[in-house]
Amino acid sequence: MIRFLLIRLGSALVVTTGVVCIVFFLLHLIPGDPVEVMLGESAQPADREALRHELGLDQPVLKQFQTYLSDLTHLDLGKSLHSKRQITAILFERLPYTFMLAITALLFAILIAFPLGLLSAIRKESLIDRSAMGFAMLGVSIPNFWMGPILILIFSLWLGWFPVSGSDGFSSIILPALTLGTALAAILSRMVRSAVLEVLNEDFIRTARAKGMTEWRVILKHALGNATLPIITVLGLQLGALLGGAVITETIFAWPGIGQLTIEAIQQRDYPVVQACVLVISLTYVLVNTMTDMAYGWLDPRVRLSE
């Protein structure tokens, strides 16, 4: 088990290192000058050079990268070029909103997907099955940037049930969470249906039925429990994807999370903030995937033995 954990943690470290390098160099290759954004086009050349020297942007890219890695090893993400605030403080203000949105979207997805997937598996080839899988196909096909405005139009402008944007109370999170969780619900419902159908053909299910168990008890106690591995895989991968999708969703609903912070930092060419945001999202994705691998090894010893 220890060897299994070390392999997974080593893989996570390699991926994280690659993300840090790629993000840094890509940001410095894209067009745009943060000094020009901060001072405006009418600023004097001397003022631009002075600010560029103050921010350390006049140094060679490799020297900047070396400084960035040195600060990163001390858990120092630096200061924002725009607000001059410590990036760590900014992230601590924004991260709770993003995690709240991701967890709420995940709960919505689970509450929608598991009943649909189970009903589809039990009533295979029925009208319920076709309707549920039709919903799943629709949910996968509709992108967040289209779903969000549609929900705002219907539930905020026409019905007036929820706020259009912002984070004023619990009602403000409903529409962003539905927008973010619909695609996950669609994917998860299909996976639940497929995994349960595969298990229903096993001998132990026929044995449970032969003992006189009710169909729902067979499904919930035996079939669903033995179909958890592929479902956990989807949940692990999609939870990380929720953080990436939150960039679009938070921008649409003006939700003050790390996604909206990323867009604001890109517009302002605030390199350190963009690097920190992408790094946090990537680390969360890697952490979730590593935890999923560990859960695999815990649930199925064959995974550990294969390493």
Distance CA 49, CA 36 (A): 10
Condensed to tens digits (0 to 9), the pLDDT of residues 83-105 reads: 778 888 888 888 888 888 888 88
Distance CA 99, CA 230 (A): 24
**pLDDT at site 38:** 62
DSSP codes joined into one string, 221-255 = IIIHHHTHHHHHHHHHHHHHHHHHHHHHHHHHHT-
Where does the pLDDT of residue 211 fall: very low under 50, low under 70, confident under 90, or very high at 90 and above?
confident
**pLDDT at site 40:** 62
Torsions phi, psi of 298, nearest 5?
A: -75, -40
Are the C-beta atoms of residues 230 and 258 closer than 8 Å to each other?
Answer: no
CA 218 to chain centre: 33
DSSP codes joined into one string, 264-291 = HHHHTT-HHHHHHHHHHHHHHHHHHHHH
> What percent of the chain has pLDDT above 90?
0
Distance CA 96, CA 257 (A): 7
Condensed to tens digits (0 to 9), the pLDDT of residues 91-146 reads: 888 888 888 888 888 888 888 888 888 888 777 777 877 887 787 777 777 777 78
> What percent of the chain has pLDDT above 70?
79
Judge whether residue 4 has pLDDT over 70.
Answer: no
Judge whether residue 47 has pLDDT over 70.
Answer: no
Q: Name the residue with higher pLDDT: 301 or 83.
A: 83
Judge whether residue 70 has pLDDT over 60.
Answer: yes
Judge whether residue 154 has pLDDT over 70.
Answer: yes
DSSP codes joined into one string, 202-225 = SHHHHHHHHTT--HHHIIIIIIHH
33-37, 155-159, 237-241, 285-289: which range is least confident on average? 33-37
Domain ranges of the chain: 95-267
Condensed to tens digits (0 to 9), the pLDDT of residues 255-267 reads: 888 888 888 888 7
Find the angle CA(29)-CA(33)-CA(38) to the nearest 5 degrees: 150
Tokens of 159: 């019905």
**pLDDT at site 305:** 45
- Mean pLDDT, the chain, rounded, equals 77
Judge whether residue 238 has pLDDT over 60.
Answer: yes
Distance CA 263, CA 266 (A): 5
Q: Name the residue with higher pLDDT: 292 or 275.
A: 275
Name the nearest CA neighbour of 277 among 101, 92, 100. 92
Q: Model-level pTM?
A: 0.76
What is 95-267's CATH number? 1.10.3720.10
Report, as an integer, the average pLDDT of 212-230.
Answer: 71
Element (H, E) at 179: helix 171-200
Condensed to tens digits (0 to 9), the pLDDT of residues 52-67 reads: 776 666 777 788 888 8
**pLDDT at site 261:** 87
**pLDDT at site 32:** 65
The amino acid at residue 291 is M
Tokens of 117: 């997937």
**pLDDT at site 55:** 66
